[in-house]
Structure 1
C-alpha cells in the first residue's frame, strides 16, 4: 500500500527551538492514523510541520512520492494536502455554502459535484447552507471546516483536535464522518485528546512524548497495550 505521507527523521519547531526530535511517521492510502500523547508532546506541531507552518531543521516530509520539505502551505495544498486547525477554522461571517465555495477556490470548472459530495458527507448542513457559519453549534462548525477542506478533493486530510469541546453526540458523529471520508478515498492524519475513542476507529496510531516516537501499532494494539493504557489512556 502506497504511503500518502512519509515523515522521516524530522526535527522541527519554532524559531531556533526544536519540538520534534527524529520523528518518523507514515499514513498509507485510505487509512486513518491517529497521533496521541500528553500535552506538549508535539502532536499539533507535527501536523503544522507537515503543512509548512513551522521551521524544519532536518529530516524529510514526502507526500505521494514528492518531497515537500520546506514548501510553503500554499504549495502543499496544491500537492493534495488540506489542514483543519482546532480553532478559527471557519469564516464565521459567511454562510455554510460560501465557506464551501472558499474551499474550492483552487478548482476550475463546475463545482456542483464537489458541493453534492460534501453535502452527502454532512447531510445536517444541507438545510443550513444559507446560515452564517458563526451562528452554528461547535459540532456543526467543525463539519463546515472539514467540508471546506474536502472541496479540494485532497489525498490527505489533516485534522487537529476535531472533537475538542464537542458533546458526546457530535464527537461520535465526527468520528463516523472520518470513517466515511476514509472510505471515499481520502487518507486522514488525526491529532486527538480523546485517545481511546480515536484509537477505536483508527487503522493505526502513534504515541508521541516530548516530540519523539514512543509507540506505534494498530489502533487495537495500542488500546490493548497495558503500558500505553497506564501511561497515556488513563487506565
Structure 2
C-alpha cells in the first residue's frame, strides 16, 4: 500500500498535557480507515492532530509527500484534507444550498461541477436545498456537513463520529455514503463509537487506548481478534 497520509510517532495534546503518545497511522489512497477504542482513548484527538487543532510536540504528519506538521488548519484544507466535526458542523440558519456554497469558499472560479456532484451524492438534499439546515434531522444534517466538505474535492476526508445519535437507518446510509465517497477516489478516516459496524465496512482499523496504538489490521482481522473483541467490542 502506498500511503497517502502518514502519522509518524505523534505526541501532543492541549496546553502542556500530552494526550497522544508516539501514535502512528497510515491511510492509503481510496481507503477507509476506522479509529476505535474506549472513551478517552484519544480517537478524536488523533483526528484533530491531523487537522492542526492541537499542539504536536514530536513526530510528523505527511500528506501526499508533503510534511504538514504544525500547519494551520486553513493551510491544511488547501493541502487536500477536510474535517467534519461531530457537532456544530452545519450553519443552522442557512439553507442546504447555502451550506454547500460555503464549502466552496476556497475554490477559484466556477464550482457548479462540484455542486452537481454533491447533489448526485445526496439526492435527498437536492429536494431540500431551500430548507434551513437547522430544520433537518440529525442524519440529514450529517449529509449536509459531509457534502459541504466534498465541495473542496478533498484527497482525505476526516469524519468525527459521523453516526453518533443517528437511527439505524441513517447509520447504514452514512456508512454507504462513505463507501460511495471512497469509490470516487477519496480516502476516509473516521472515528467511531459503533466499533463493530465500523470495522465491518472499513478497509483497515486502528485500536487506540490511552493515546497509544494498541492494535491495527484489516477490519475483518480486528473483528475476528478475540482479544480485541473482548476488550473493545463488547464480545
What TM-score, normalized to structure 2?
0.99
Q: Distance in 2 between matches of 1:139 and 1:75?
A: 29
Residue of structure 1 equivalent to 2:148: 148
Residue of structure 1 equivalent to 2:187: 187
Residue of structure 1 equivalent to 2:122: 122
For the Cα contact (< 8 Å) 1:10–1:56, is it kept in 2? yes
Residue of structure 1 equivalent to 2:135: 135
Q: CA deviation at 1:2?
A: 2.6
- Structure 2 counterpart SS, 1:56: strand
Q: Distance in 1 between matches of 2:105 and 2:134?
A: 20
- Structure 2 counterpart SS, 1:185: coil
- Structure 2 counterpart SS, 1:91: coil
Per-residue CA deviation, residues 174-226 of structure 1 (Å, 9 max, x unaligned), is 00000000000000000000000010010000000000000000000000111
Residue of structure 1 equivalent to 2:162: 162
Residue of structure 2 equivalent to 1:213: 213
Residue of structure 2 equivalent to 1:113: 113
For the Cα contact (< 8 Å) 1:2–1:64, is it kept in 2? no
Counterpart mapping for 1:1-235 below 5 A: 1-235=1-235
Unaligned 5+ segments in structure 1 are none
Q: CA deviation at 1:116?
A: 0.9
Q: CA deviation at 1:38?
A: 0.1
Q: Distance in 1 between matches of 2:207 and 2:62?
A: 21
Q: Distance in 2 between matches of 1:3 and 1:132?
A: 39
Q: Distance in 2 between matches of 1:68 and 1:33?
A: 20
Per-residue CA deviation, residues 104-137 of structure 1 (Å, 9 max, x unaligned), is 0111122111011101111110100010001000
Q: CA deviation at 1:90?
A: 0.1
Q: How many residues are aligned here? A: 235
- Structure 2 counterpart SS, 1:109: coil
Q: Distance in 2 between matches of 1:70 and 1:126?
A: 38
Q: Distance in 2 between matches of 1:145 and 1:4?
A: 23
Q: CA deviation at 1:12?
A: 1.1
| Runs of 4+ displaced beyond 4 Å | none
What TM-score, normalized to structure 1?
0.99
Provide the aligned C-alpha RMSD in A.
Answer: 0.5
